[in-house]
Structure 1
Amino acid sequence: MPRTSNKAWLWALLAAAFLVPLLRDAVPDVVSDYRLFLVSTMMIAAIAVLGLNLLTGFNGQISLGHGAFYAVGAYVAAILMDQLGWPYWLTLPAAAIICFIVGYLFGLPALKLEGHYLALATFALALAVPQILKYKWLEGLTGGVQGIVLSKPEAPFGLPLSEDQWLYYYILVVMVLLYWAAANILNSRSGRAMMAIRDQYMAADTMGIDTALYKTVTFGISAAYTGIAGALSASAIAFVAPDSFNFFLSIKFLIGLVVGGIGSLAGSVVGGIFYVLVDNSAQALSTFVKNDLGLQFDLSAYTVFGILLIVLMYLMPMGIVGGVTHLIRSLRSSLRGTPAKEHQAAAKQRA
């Protein structure tokens, strides 16, 4: 597909995304505050998955602990708003900076770890952070097991928007800016160095790329993205508690990444949508199985995640975005009369 066509589709999607909340009063049964809130959580999840994608998909470092950075970002925002009275929008750069520092410092010892050893180290981080947040000496800041209750931000300047409408626009703008920033990073010299480290670590080192610097900085940027997502969730949900950031949150981010498409920016958005949809639909699906199908067993969110992951990996091993892209190319080859194998060979030559 030509680049101009891609841009046209992108602008059309953005225009539609900005117009949808305005239909709340016209079609309240279709565009309700709850559904706007649901889409907002999808965009937050997409930002978190995008952060993980920068690290795993584009730099080749495996992480099972990004839920920890999400928690740090959420608590930074909650503490600043609750105890220091900061405006919600000012907590985003604060969460990004603190999470970048935490990610960068964690990335320094992680330089000596590769593959499953790095995954185990990040796994330990995901287990430790929720317990640290419950620590009695930090209860004055974190609220302990009871967490922190916040208020949803209202629309500024007297805009005639509900809280959920305003949050939708706020999160959408942040997501678009972060997506644009990630695309520019990946298209720069630094982005090419990141992907060179992912593809051939020793060759990149031989070519003079400072692999240690790029890996730690990428870890920091990835943590900053996920921390921003956590800060947005604190404003959107208006509540943070340690048990909301357990280890399975990190696993859900990783599942969203794999399902959407590793190494694909668009796959991050699809992965975020998938994660929230499955998480919110598991109970309804379990009720359908028990009441309508007459099967007496419960389907938890983790069961649904597992089943869908197995099916999608069998049907689309490159993720949803990769599978759809391959399907479109195959259809184009068929319409042009070009065999699919010849088309793939031509694509490899161009690459």
Structure 2
Amino acid sequence: MDAATTPLRPPPSRALGPWQLAGLALLILAACALPFLLGNYRVFQFTMALSYAIALLGLNMLTGFNGQISLGHGAFLAIGAYTAAILMDKTAMPYWATIPVAGLVCFIAGFLFGLPALRLEGLYLSLATFALGVAMPQILKHKALEPWTGGSMGVVIVKPDAPAGVPLNQDQWLYFFTLAWVIVLFFAAWNLLRGRVGRALVAIRDQPVAAQAMGVNTAMYKSLTFGVSALYTGIAGALAAIAVQFAAPDSFSSFLSLTLLVGMVVGGLASISGAFYGALFIQFIPNVADQISKAAPWAIYGVFLIGFMYVMPSGVAGLVRMLRRRFGPRA
């Protein structure tokens, strides 16, 4: 189904209320306490979930809010991951400095890809982005790029230590480092989408002809949205590569792009908070499915996915909104 024809919730147009601010503060406190309550492997898993949340937010800005369907965002994850890995491996650049560089590289790549994509709509655009996702692993394996990308072997990087004097191990430090990026990027997206830009994106998604008649530069907004979406996804890829200590072409197959789309839909289209729910789904549900059945884990995964869509057709964020309206405090 075309995202432009799906009834979605418009971006919020008012500030958070006191109950919402209190809940947000509690969530941040819980997130800060999490790495001290879990083992290193679980902390690593939550770090990956946070990086996925950034990628899903970027994809949701493009598909959920602007109506441009992408089936190839795994390519931008790969570009961001390889940018960080190559800079750390070949130039000894500090890991923290590679993150904005990866975002900038992906913004340029997304903006340039978005320009020719202006001629495409709906399924045609989704097929074009899918082709990008399919081609990216083969591009990374090309002999001309092998001195930089390592070919099929990929690039191995060293997991950074916490700064001197900070009593955290490597996994805990990377968790907090990723969490800091999550807070900054989600606040930036919330501030962007609740204002004039967010209303313009939704107008282009729902009524593109009317939006253009009202003076909205649809071509520029679409291209910039593609660029910003790729920026978020590239930063997520860089953070994930640093956490995993490895970047290889086969890690960014077309299945990864489909997984991001699944996470976005499960979390909730056109929802900022839905990125967190979707990230938890794509990070932990495959593990749960594997524990339930070693013989057919993806069949169990499919059952989970069907169940989520049947019970929560508007995503987890939609269910949370409904419960909040029904049982939450009233002004």
When normalised by structure 1's length, the TM-score is 0.87
**Cα separation, 1, equivalents of 2:233 and 2:252:** 12
Is 1:325 aligned to 2:321, yes or no?
yes
3-state SS of paired residue (1:172): helix
- In the superposition, relative to structure 1, how do residues 252 and 121 fare at CA in structure 2: closer, same or farther (>3 Å)? same
Decide whether aligned partners of structure 1 residues 331 and 17 sit closer, same or farther in structure 2, where only a CA change above 3 A counts: closer
Q: Which runs of 5+ in 1 are unaligned?
A: 24-30, 288-297, 337-351
Shift of 1:108: 0.4
Paired residue secondary structure (1:63): coil
| Separation in 1, partners of 2:169, 2:175 | 10
1:64 aligns to what SS in structure 2? coil
Distance, in Å, in 2 between the alignment partners of 1:112 and 1:305 is 36
Deviations 1:5-30 (A, max 9, x none): 0010001110121123234xxxxxxx
Choose from 170, 184, 202 the match for 1:163: 170
Distance 1:305 1:179 in 2: 28
Measure, in 1, the Cα distance between the counterparts of 2:322 and 2:34.
30
Shift of 1:304: 3.6
Are the counterparts in 2 of residues 278 and 304 from structure 1 also a CA contact under 8 Å? no
2:75 matched residue in structure 1:
68
Distance 1:282 1:140 in 2: 38
Q: Runs (4+) of structure 1 moved beyond 6 Å?
A: none
Q: Cα RMSD (Å) of the superposition?
A: 1.6
Counterpart among 111, 114, 126 of residue 107 in structure 1? 114
Q: In the alignment, what sits opposite 1:36?
A: 43
User: Superposition pairs for residues 170-249 of structure 1, below 5 Å?
Assistant: 170-249=177-256
How far, CA to CA, are the matches of 1:273 and 1:322 in structure 2? 16
SS of the residue aligned with 1:161? coil
Q: How does 1:1-351 map to 2 (within 5 A)?
A: 3-23=17-37, 31-287=38-294, 298-301=295-298, 303-331=299-327
Q: Distance in 2 between matches of 1:309 and 1:145?
A: 32
- Residues 156-206 of structure 1, C-alpha deviation per residue, up to 9 Å, x if partnerless? 123111000101100001011100000011022122111111121111001
Aligned equivalents of 2:320, 2:31: Cα separation in 1: 22
Question: Structure 1 CA distance, aligned partners of 2:196 and 2:108?
Answer: 23
SS at match of 2:66: coil
2:71 match: secondary structure: coil
In the alignment, the residues of structure 1 paired with residue 79 and residue 296 of structure 2 have an alpha-carbon distance, to the nearest angstrom, of 30
Q: Contact 1:147 / 1:241 at 8 angstroms: preserved in 2?
A: yes
Calculate percent identity across the aligned residue pairs. 53
Between stretches 237-246 and 188-197, larger displacement belongs to: 188-197
TM-score, normalised via structure 2 length: 0.92
1:85-134 CA-to-partner distances (Å, cap 9, x unmatched) read: 00011111111111000000000010010000000000000000110000
- Return the alpha-carbon distance in structure 1 between the equivalents of residues 206 and 300 of structure 2: 33
- Conserved? CA contact 2:293–2:300, under 8 Å: no
Q: Which amino acid aligns with 2:18?
A: T
